[in-house]
Structure 1
Amino acid sequence: MGPLFPKIKGLLEDTVKNIINPFYGLEISQSEVPQLLSYGVGGHYQPHIDAESVWKTPDGEMIWKKSTDRDISMVFYLNDGYEGGDFLFPDMGVRVRPEPGMLVVFPSTYLYKHGVEPVRKGMRYSMVCWAEAKGFPTLADINADLSKRYNIEVNN
């Protein structure tokens, strides 16, 4: 990712520690390595959910279940000079027009399905990262609870 990566990663870590943790009243226990995303003309991302999927219980009920240890999703916008590429929360009717230096933070649950509209002109760059928060149930906790509740082994 080049020489800017450590600076951007450090800025993201400082933002988590000094702004996100106090604002949301939580403590990030660990985060994944940030990923650099680039979208050229036509580039987009279909609406999706970062850390939950539908799970069918033994009695046939469909429920949302944690699928990975991601509690918080973060998107850091790096540039302007492109058209399109808005960030969407389609189920909420929310559209975010990214600006350089903007950070969007949201829970990684099914309530925050999100995507990126196609870029119409230029290149769009952003950095994404996911984190675990202390006090949130882990995937192992959820699986253990479901295993006990339904008397089956749940491990995915």
Structure 2
Amino acid sequence: MYNSEMEHFKDYASDLLARSTHGSTEGNSGSSYLRTSKQTWLDHREFSPNITLVHNKIGGSSLNESARILETDWSWGSYFSTRDVFNATDKVAARVSDRMELVGKFKLLKYWSAEKFQIANYGLGGQYGQHLDAHGYWNGVTKSDFLEKTGDRIATIMVYLADVEAGGATCFPNTGNRITVKKGDAAFWLNMYTSGLQDQFTNHGGCPVLVGSKWITNKWVGYLDQFREYPCSVKGWNERFHKFESYY
């Protein structure tokens, strides 16, 4: 990301940050010492502003009924998730998301293809214990209507929005990988196998910040929209998607 984009993200988040939460095997979320940071969300997509157009296409009994169908039925949600039926609520975030699409060849625009940008700040001592970004929907670990439609988080795109004087690295203890914080750099990894199951090699955490303040933004990519666009190749599972490898 460019410096002006990173500053925009931090300025947007500064007055909106709240204590970060994390998921659990019970499917709910809460805060604990596992994750000591603050966060907020930024999205450039506001879907179905032209609800009359959507209503005429779907044909629900009312505008509200058509809107509900759009949000809950994947086929309609995907069909109407196009540039002519949504507003770019944040043009800087839209530009960053477009760049991520080009770099990763992902689909991030559609209704269920990706989550909002998460912006997080870790102060002195702030850290995030080791965890998996993929919730484990097809592992049977958790259930939710949202994950049923997205297919879980196949990939993580994380950008460091500020330098850290000491600490704050992103570490993968099962593989020996370590990514140091460098402002403007993006870290990318795949969280799942093509089967949809979690890749335990992607278990990772944010090391404590020793000096300074750590800022990051995450874009989590949904599984199903990517595989509807890029079906598995008959030539082998690893032609497009490569699993995590250990450095040990």
TM-score (norm 1): 0.67
- Structure ranking higher in helix proportion: 2
Tell me the alpha carbon deviations over residues 118-142 of structure 1, each in whole angstroms, 9 at most, x when there is no partner.
00011000001211143538xxxxx
Taking the aligned partners of 1:120 and 1:11, their CA distance within structure 2 comes to: 33
AA aligned to 1:35 is Q
Taking the aligned partners of 2:183 and 2:126, their CA distance within structure 1 comes to: 18
Deviation at 1:113, TM superposition (A): 1.0
Taking the aligned partners of 1:127 and 1:8, their CA distance within structure 2 comes to: 13
Query: Does 2:207 align with 1:117?
Result: yes
Stretch deviating more after TM superposition (97-106 or 28-37): 28-37
Counterparts of 1:74-93 in structure 2, within 5 Å, are: 74-93=157-176
Deviation at 1:53, TM superposition (A): 3.6
AA aligned to 2:219 is C
Identity %: 26
What is the aligned length? 125
Aligned-residue CA RMSD in angstroms?
Answer: 2.7
AA aligned to 2:114 is S
Specify the SS of the correspondent of 2:153. coil
Taking the aligned partners of 1:8 and 1:83, their CA distance within structure 2 comes to: 29
5+ unaligned residues in a row in structure 2: which ranges?
A: 1-9, 14-41, 43-89, 193-197, 229-248
Match of 2:227 in 1: 136
Rate the CA distance shift 1:39–1:107 in 2: closer, same or farther, 3 A.
same
Query: Does 2:13 align with 1:13?
Result: no
Taking the aligned partners of 1:31 and 1:135, their CA distance within structure 2 comes to: 10
Taking the aligned partners of 1:104 and 1:8, their CA distance within structure 2 comes to: 20
Match of 1:149 in 2: none
Specify the SS of the correspondent of 1:31. coil
Rate the CA distance shift 1:42–1:65 in 2: closer, same or farther, 3 A.
same
Rate the CA distance shift 1:7–1:117 in 2: closer, same or farther, 3 A.
farther
- The counterpart of 1:31, out of the listed 109, 114, 124, is 114
Deviation at 1:107, TM superposition (A): 1.4
Taking the aligned partners of 2:140 and 2:125, their CA distance within structure 1 comes to: 32
5+ unaligned residues in a row in structure 1: which ranges?
A: 56-63, 138-156
CA contact (8 A) 1:45 1:115 kept: yes
Specify the SS of the correspondent of 1:92. coil
TM-score (norm 2): 0.44
Rate the CA distance shift 1:54–1:2 in 2: closer, same or farther, 3 A.
closer
Match of 2:51 in 1: none
